[in-house]
């Protein structure tokens, strides 16, 4: 059996403190909370479901776990910065003043930030 073509993707993210993480995804990033129960808070990420579950003692990984393709990365970074979201600067990457990295030999640009649990999130402009 294969996954049916009509099956929709569900993304997952883990938090230590759902009460603290929910406002970040809802108010800062602007995603609609569509369901919440004892197991997860569920957000609509522009047609993709994100299930945020709680795990006591959770420690975020050092790599990107969720990202968005944006039309204008500078505007998107500035909008989130205006909401108090700091962007990560990685030593040796040569990011610009906004924290945007341009892939060598490419026009692809990426900027990274974290949620309240330290999950690494990204914005990408292809």
Q: Give the count of domains, the chain.
A: 2
The mean pLDDT value of the chain amounts to 97
The answer on 68 and 39 residing in a single domain is no
The answer on 73 and 124 residing in a single domain is yes
pLDDT tens string 62-96 = 999 999 999 999 999 999 999 999 999 999 999 99
pLDDT at 118: 98
Of the chain, the percentage scoring pLDDT greater than 70 comes to: 100
Q: What is the mean pLDDT of residues 17-32?
A: 98
The answer on 111 and 88 residing in a single domain is yes
How far out from the chain centre does Cα 91 lie? Answer: 21
Closest Cα partner for 67 from 18, 117, 113?
113
pLDDT at 1: 84
Task: Please determine, for residue 46, whether its predicted confidence score (pLDDT) is greater than 90.
Answer: yes
Of the chain, the percentage scoring pLDDT greater than 90 comes to: 99
Q: Helices (DSSP H) in 8-60: which residue ranges?
A: 18-23
Q: Would residue 32 count as lying in a domain?
A: yes
pLDDT at 26: 98
Long-range contacts of 30-33 (CB under 8 A, 24+ apart): none
Show the domain range for 86: 60-126
Paired strand residues for 64: 120
Q: What is the mean pLDDT of residues 100-124?
A: 98
Q: State whether residue 112 is helix, strand or coil.
A: strand
């Amino acid at each position: 059996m294969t996954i049916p073509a009509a099956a929709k993707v569900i993304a997952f993210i883990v938090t230590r403190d759902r009460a603290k993480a929910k406002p970040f995804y809802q108010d800062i990033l602007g995603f609609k909370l569509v369901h919440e129960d004892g197991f997860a808070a569920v957000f609509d990420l522009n047609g993709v479901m994100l299930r945020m579950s709680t795990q006591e003692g959770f420690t975020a990984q050092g790599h990107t776990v969720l990202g968005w393709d944006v039309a204008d990365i500078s505007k998107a970074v500035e909008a989130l910065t205006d909401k108090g979201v700091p962007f990560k600067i990685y030593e040796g990457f040569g990011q610009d003043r906004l924290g945007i990295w341009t892939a060598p030999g490419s026009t692809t640009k990426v900027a990274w930030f974290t949620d309240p649990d330290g999950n690494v999130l990204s914005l990408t402009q292809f």
